[in-house]
Amino acid sequence: MNPFVESQQLQTRRQFFGSTGLRLGGTALAAMMANAVTRTASAAPRMLPPLPGLPHFAPQAKAIIYLHMNGGPSQIDLWDHKPVLKEHFDKDLPDSIRMGQRITTMTSGQSRLPVAPSKFKFAQQGQCGTWVSELLPFTAKHVDDIAVIKSVHTNAINHDPACTFVMTGSEVPGKASLGSWLAYGLGSESNDLPAFVVLTPIWSSGAAAQALFTRMWSSGFLPSSYNGVALRSVGDPVLYVQNPLGVEARDRRVMLDALAQLNQRSFEELGDPEIQTRIAQYEMAFRMQS
């Protein structure tokens, strides 16, 4: 018997409904994106249009998935091959390297600062000859399709300011994040889905846990409509998108219309553009419900 057919016959009731939910979710997402394409074809206005003159060329990518491994392995153990470090193993770090840089609280109690090279072996992989650690044997097989950037550097010596620098280009909080800049420059094809969403792991209270601050997906000084929408790891991915029990879609529509009128009055009185953003976010949440 065909293994695929046999698997379908042995499928449990719970597996059936679980997989059906995934299929329906995928169908709904495809329908929402199809609606976006249809509206674009009919020249309907986009809520987040791209800046004039952008993009500079026809893009091939439809979306960007950025994985930020906060607290992950060091680049020295993965990509940044530094064989000279072995020659200086256990020697004190020269002052010419530190150049008077302050010491973190994690190392302030050390009596000395010895040089420590990577413990793992490196080898050149692929036609490009990129040095890859033995920790990445499967990634090494596809290294010709990967761009490894080694020119980025920072003076940050702690995780938090370094991560803030990676995400916003500045160690000082308040600047717009990478995803917000992309949404601002390129816009969004869909009016029914957020242009920039963030998936965060379940928070661990362990001593080795790495904190993730909302400024890493903040729009900073850009309008808040370009903020990242964080999807929760537990419970409803987005709070307050689902209607409470007993509240029908038509009831929610009446409530939002009344709220939009009140917000519009506030906007006419105060002129705060954030009020218009709030109205637009309420409307997007309603479209996500339907």
Which pLDDT does position 287 carry in this prediction? 82
pTM above 0.75, yes or no: no
- The mean pLDDT value of the chain amounts to 81
pLDDT mean over 139-153: 92
| Percent with pLDDT over 90 in the chain | 31
**Does the pLDDT of residue 137 top 90, yes or no?**
yes
pLDDT mean over 32-52: 66
**Measured CA angle at 252 (ends 250, 253), to 5 deg:** 60
**Does the pLDDT of residue 173 top 50, yes or no?**
yes
Quote the tokens at residue 32: 């929402």
Which pLDDT does position 93 carry in this prediction? 87
CA–chain centroid gap for 61, Å, is 16
Which pLDDT does position 159 carry in this prediction? 80
Q: Domains of the chain: which residue ranges? A: 28-67+159-289, 75-100+109-145
Which pLDDT does position 45 carry in this prediction? 81
| Percent with pLDDT over 70 in the chain | 81
SS3 of the chain: the string is: CCHHHHHHHCCCHHHHHHHHHHHHHHHHHHHHHHHHHHHHHCCCCCCCCCCCCCCCCCCCCCCCCCCCCCCCCCHHHCCCCCCHHHHCCCCECCHHHHCCCCCCCCCCCCCCCECCCCCCCEEEECCCCEEEECCCHHHHCCHHHCCCCCCCCCCCCCHHHHHHHHHHCCCCCCCCCHHHHHHHHHCCCCCCCCCCEEECCCCCCCCCCCCCCHHHHCCCCCCHHHCCEEECCCCCCCCCCCCCCCCCHHHHHHHHHHHHHHHHHHHHHHCCHHHHHHHHHHHHHHHHHC
pLDDT mean over 82-89: 92
pLDDT mean over 230-253: 83
pLDDT, tens digit, 9 for 90 and up, residues 102-115: 777 777 778 888 99
Q: Which residue has the higher pLDDT, 26 or 141?
A: 141
Which backbone phi and psi does 197 adopt, to 5 degrees? -120, 155
- Confidence band (pLDDT; 50, 70, 90) for 184? very high
Highest mean pLDDT among 38-52, 167-181, 205-219: 167-181
**Does the pLDDT of residue 210 top 80, yes or no?**
no
Residue type, 42: S
Which pLDDT does position 34 carry in this prediction? 59
Residue 197: beta bridge partners? 229
Mean pLDDT lowest for which of 15-29, 201-215, 262-276?
15-29
